[in-house]
């Protein structure tokens, strides 16, 4: 099997919850660059459908390009910020807002506890990507944090986000 290249899993003292899912959106999943090298075992590569947009979002918040973020499909989630952080949204224009105010795509934004991120509606494209400094720190499976819904692995219990989920974030990039 190939050597796993993973973002380091934070220790409990470093891990923090940064988002509470108030509404999950149509299909919001945790994604990264996927699981290359496992196809011969019947495991699809998976990962973000727009790898460039996810890598760009990660770059904007100072993460490595393979850090996990959220892939938002058509109708976005509503996320309450639980800890101060830096977020960026790239890819499709789904009407990204912070506390009801339009937030520029392809730009980093500082967020504070209690603020609410949401998507007001599709303007162009299909999938947007939300990255947060530190990356979404769900446990890796076969070297990836990506959600594979069919196999029920990765992400948050191998499924799309659900109301009430709390998303852990790793330590801030150095």
Show the tokens assigned to 150. 């069919």
Which residue from 87, 166, 79, 90 is spatially nearest to 118, judged by alpha carbons?
A: 79
37-96: pLDDT as tens digits: 888 988 889 999 999 999 999 999 999 999 999 999 999 999 999 999 999 999 999 999
- pTM confidence score: 0.89
Please provide the DSSP assignment of 40-60 as one string. Answer: GGT------SSHHHHHHHHHH
Residue 87: strand pairing partners: 109, 132
């Amino acid at each position: 099997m190939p050597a796993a290249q993973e973002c380091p899993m934070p220790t409990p003292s470093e891990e923090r919850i940064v988002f509470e899912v108030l509404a999950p959106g149509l299909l919001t999943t945790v994604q990264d660059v996927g699981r290359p090298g496992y196809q011969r075992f019947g495991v699809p590569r998976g990962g973000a459908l727009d790898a460039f947009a996810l890598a760009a979002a990660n770059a904007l918040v100072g993460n490595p390009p393979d850090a996990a973020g959220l892939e938002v499909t058509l109708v976005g989630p509503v996320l309450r910020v639980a800890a101060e952080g830096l977020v960026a949204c790239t890819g499709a224009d789904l009407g990204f807002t912070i506390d009801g105010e339009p937030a520029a795509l392809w730009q980093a934004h500082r967020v504070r506890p209690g603020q609410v991120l949401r998507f007001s509606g599709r303007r162009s494209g299909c999938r947007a990507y939300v990255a947060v400094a530190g990356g979404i720190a769900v446990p890796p499976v076969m070297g990836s944090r990506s959600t594979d819904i069919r196999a029920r692995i990765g992400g948050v219990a191998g499924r799309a986000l659900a109301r009430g989920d709390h998303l852990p974030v790793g330590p801030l990039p150095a």
